[in-house]
Structure 1
Amino acid sequence: MMKTKAVRLYGKADLRLEEFELPEIKDNEILAKVVCDSLCMSSFKASNQGADHKRVPQNVDQHPVIIGHEFAGELLEVGSKWAGQFKEGDKFSIQPALNYKEGPVGILSAPGYSYHHIGGDATYVVIPNEVMELGCLLPYKGEGFYPASLSEPLSCVIGAMHANYHTVPGSYVHNMEIVDGGKMALLAGVGPMGLAAINYVLHRKDRKPSLLVVTDIDQDRLDRAATLYTPDFAVSQGIELKYINTSKMKDPEKELKEISGNEGYNDVFVFAPVAPVIKQADAILGFDGCLNFFAGPSNPNFEASLNFYNVHYAYTHVVGTSGGNTDDMKEALDVMSKGLDPAGLVTHIGGMNAVIDATLSLPNIPGGKKLIYNHVEMPLTAISDFKKIGENNAVYCLLAEVCERNNGLWSVEAEELLLANAKALNY
């Protein structure tokens, strides 16, 4: 049997780091090593809601589940059923939204929420048969592991773009997708998922807006986004990109609409569950515009006003998306193989020992994605702090040098350095 160390959920805000034995794999299962997992706000919600969460089993207090669903690793042992399709040593990512009607909690079953032996915050896991049956075990052939871990959040914004729709006047045909050559706005758009959306829009080849406006009220985050995804690069891709601090505008709705040429925006994405932001999004929509409410609220009674006159007469559309499907994850892995580096999402690195505190405190930790290396012991550390800590620690000093060469970002080189020297961190 294989021992694993994992963070398991027992109930509301009850996470425990434990070591236990995994069962021997069946012929239709796969044993895997998890290298890294990126922490997600969805895990924060599940950890705080416990059995009240739709994906968490009712008996979680007696049969705890492993949390984490944005993970990547390496296959160690492949059951005979899958030996012709997968092999030992393959790198992988997993689509957690299985939509499997016979799972532990029904159709919403998902690794990271519903399973006893698979989740992202574990050193080793048993991948159940349904993951392979549903095509949700996805090979990753790129360098390193963290891009595969981040393919899940990237797939969420890919799915959001695909979910928007527009109509043909006089017909009942819905054209799925953003408007090619249209005007797009990302509101509260420089958090982790907003950055992923910017990155994807700028690297997309099949369709893209002519104008992309990204708003927020945090100037530091806007400035960082502008250095990662520059207006000059956007121009090279045929896109006019503007970063706007709406807290400095007297009348944000009026001024944002003026930037669009007073036509309004074809596609508006809301990345924060804040009622005034939703109202602002509604106000800047153009005719036949689509508002995508991406940021799922924790409050089941969350409400915001919407102009229903425009729903009727201006063909306003409203959709809500949160996750991508398997095809979206495949697209994420493909676009990364063609040059998209998701490292701009990551601002903190940590080890398995940091998972519990980081997950339960996630909304209060500034920055972007928190990337966990499961076989490492390391406090959750901002990449920007590596240099200071490196004054007294050789490993952090080396990590700081590598990240500085990469515009302050994480990289495959930094990942390899950390994994090779983890035992010498001496924090």
Structure 2
Amino acid sequence: MKTKAIRLYGKKDLRMEEFELPQIQDNEILAKVVSDSLCMSSYKASSQGADHKRIPNDVAQNPIIIGHEFAGELVQVGTKWAHKFKAGDKFSIQPALNYENGPVGILSAPGYSYPYIGGDATYVIIPNEVMEQDCLLAYNGEGYYPASLAEPLSCVIGAMHANYHLTPGSYVHKMEIVDKGKMAILAGVGPMGLAAINYVLRREERHPSLCIVTDVDQTRLDRAAKLYPVEFAATKGIDLRYINTSNMTNPAEELRAITGGSGYNDVFVFAPVKPVVEQADAILAFDGCLNFFAGPGDPKFSAMFNFYNVHYSYTHVVGTSGGNKDDMVEALDLMSKGLDPAGLVTHIGGLDAVIDATNHLPEIPGGKKLIYTHIKMPLTPIAEFEEKGKNDPLLAKLSDICKKNGGLWSVEAESYLLAHYDKQ
């Protein structure tokens, strides 16, 4: 079976190549990738090459397939797994395997560490350890892009679960955000921030009573408010507010004033920016938990933290790097119950768009860049479909479909794209 894939050889050295996959072993599965959403983590992997903790040291000689937010369908199932999977099953993968014997040890992950599996490919071989770790997950919903976006959603789910608070008079930590507490999502209208807002509003058993979302870009704040309206949040018992901190003289002081001076129980930082981290520290309540979500590219990144408050107000910090299998299962379950992640998607492209988009991801505005690996298409903002459609009837049709769905991507748009665009 031939595959066409984007392979990493070193720092910013990504190449589109076609090559033969080996015959699968009895404990492996051959799969067709349909969609992959580009992640800032892939930009970091490309930028750092072999210096990245998940990338093998010999990547120059043995390249890996990049991309880890992917979905597709199974093509051929080895005998070991025939009792559990069958050809034609749709799937998603939790890439954080936590498998000690992987190519780079416990940090090994599809999309970073393996020569024959990654999201930016037409066909891949799923290795035994993915199934052994229960990280090959069935997807029973419509389309494919929701399953691709289950991985980023699982990351914010994991972050919410990782927060913790104290039990007064003991050293027992209570995991999770404070139910009906006060939450702040800082720098929160990028792709992952939007995923967090969506999860907060759709979650059934635990949510804050107050949730502020901040940014310095009013256009992005307005888009977030349109996608996830404060009126809808109110029906869930959540006082949701979108706040532009660039209009504030003293953001920390003014954000804290919204709580009556008590501060926020759970604060999530969605940008690795020193002033934002320090702002988060300054608005923590007693026993407040700061979750540093956004992974920095600089290994020496640091910020000031008030240790007086650590000692006397029990403030604390956690960090998460991806979700786990249970978080992924929760994400897929929420999608089966109606959570649509389409609001995260702002650009659509084919496999031929991956190299340039990945290597310049921080420079490309908007949300998630969704790749369909079996088609040829330059990376195109959904917002430009209508204008570009004046000279391209396929884009004109996609524009009409997206308009019908509130300007968002959809299963209908995906189905049309896959049926009509040029194949790789």
Question: If the TM-score is normalised by the length of the shorter chain, which range does it land in?
Answer: over 0.9
Residues 1:376 and 2:375 are matched in the alignment: yes
Instruction: State the Cα distance separating 1:169 from its structure 2 match.
Output: 1.4
- Kept after mapping to 2: 8 A contact 1:290/1:318: yes
Instruction: State the Cα distance separating 1:263 from its structure 2 match.
Output: 1.0
Distance 1:396 1:424, change over 3 A: farther
Q: 2:410 maps to what in 1?
A: 411
Q: 2:130 maps to what in 1?
A: 131
Q: 2:104 maps to what in 1?
A: 105
Q: 1:327 maps to what in 2?
A: 326
- Kept after mapping to 1: 8 A contact 2:185/2:213: yes
Instruction: State the Cα distance separating 1:107 from its structure 2 match.
Output: 1.0
Q: 1:366 maps to what in 2?
A: 365
Instruction: State the Cα distance separating 1:254 from its structure 2 match.
Output: 1.0
Correspondence 1:9-408 to 2 at 5 A: 9-408=8-407
Is the partner of 2:356 in helix, strand or coil? helix
Is the partner of 1:45 in helix, strand or coil? helix
Q: Distance in 2 between matches of 1:363 and 1:377?
A: 23
What is the CA deviation profile of residues 161-200 of structure 1, one whole-angstrom value per residue up to 9, with x for unaligned ones? 0000000111011000000000000000000000000000
Q: 1:3 maps to what in 2?
A: 2
Q: Distance in 1 between matches of 2:74 and 2:103?
A: 24
Instruction: State the Cα distance separating 1:413 from its structure 2 match.
Output: 0.4
Instruction: State the Cα distance separating 1:424 from its structure 2 match.
Output: 9.2
What is the CA deviation profile of residues 254-283 of structure 1, one whole-angstrom value per residue up to 9, with x for unaligned ones? 110111121100000000000000110000
Is the partner of 1:269 in helix, strand or coil? strand
Instruction: State the Cα distance separating 1:407 from its structure 2 match.
Output: 1.1
Q: Distance in 2 between matches of 1:32 and 1:236?
A: 42
- Kept after mapping to 2: 8 A contact 1:73/1:145: yes
Is the partner of 1:4 in helix, strand or coil? strand
Q: Distance in 2 between matches of 1:39 and 1:125?
A: 17
Distance 1:388 1:424, change over 3 A: farther
Which moves more between the two structures, 403-412 or 217-226? 403-412
- Kept after mapping to 1: 8 A contact 2:4/2:121: yes
Q: Distance in 1 between matches of 2:312 and 2:335?
A: 41
What is the CA deviation profile of residues 295-344 of structure 1, one whole-angstrom value per residue up to 9, with x for unaligned ones? 01000111100100000000001001120000000000001111110011
Is the partner of 1:36 in helix, strand or coil? strand
Which moves more between the two structures, 349-358 or 95-104? 95-104
Q: Distance in 2 between matches of 1:246 and 1:369?
A: 24
Instruction: State the Cα distance separating 1:25 from its structure 2 match.
Output: 0.5
Q: Distance in 2 between matches of 1:372 and 1:83?
A: 29
Q: Distance in 2 between matches of 1:130 and 1:27?
A: 13
Q: Distance in 2 between matches of 1:257 and 1:310?
A: 15
Is there any run of 5+ residues in structure 1 with no aligned partner, and where? none
Is the partner of 2:391 in helix, strand or coil? coil
Is there any run of 5+ residues in structure 2 with no aligned partner, and where? none
What is the CA deviation profile of residues 192-230 of structure 1, one whole-angstrom value per residue up to 9, with x for unaligned ones? 000000000000001000000000000000000000000
Instruction: State the Cα distance separating 1:418 from its structure 2 match.
Output: 0.3
Q: Distance in 1 between matches of 2:368 and 2:399?
A: 18
- Kept after mapping to 2: 8 A contact 1:395/1:424: no
Q: Distance in 2 between matches of 1:203 and 1:103?
A: 35
Instruction: State the Cα distance separating 1:109 from its structure 2 match.
Output: 0.7
What is the CA deviation profile of residues 51-101 of structure 1, one whole-angstrom value per residue up to 9, with x for unaligned ones? 000100000000000000000000000011111100010000001011111
Instruction: State the Cα distance separating 1:402 from its structure 2 match.
Output: 0.7
Q: Distance in 1 between matches of 2:209 and 2:32?
A: 43
Q: TM-score, normalised by structure 1?
A: 0.99
Is the partner of 1:324 in helix, strand or coil? coil
- Kept after mapping to 1: 8 A contact 2:375/2:423: no
Q: Distance in 1 between matches of 2:237 and 2:166?
A: 25
Partner amino acid for 1:371?
L
Partner amino acid for 1:68?
G
Q: Distance in 2 between matches of 1:269 and 1:81?
A: 42
Q: TM-score, normalised by structure 2?
A: 0.99
**Aligned residues: CA RMSD:** 0.9
Q: Distance in 2 between matches of 1:308 and 1:169?
A: 19
- Kept after mapping to 1: 8 A contact 2:181/2:265: yes
Is the partner of 1:106 in helix, strand or coil? strand
Is the partner of 1:387 in helix, strand or coil? helix
Q: Distance in 2 between matches of 1:269 and 1:261?
A: 20
Q: Distance in 2 between matches of 1:314 and 1:199?
A: 30
Q: Distance in 1 between matches of 2:15 and 2:301?
A: 30
Task: Report the number of matched residues.
Answer: 424
Partner amino acid for 2:293?
F
Partner amino acid for 1:42?
S
Is the partner of 1:131 in helix, strand or coil? helix
Is the partner of 2:395 in helix, strand or coil? helix
Q: Distance in 2 between matches of 1:223 and 1:214?
A: 11
Is the partner of 1:407 in helix, strand or coil? coil
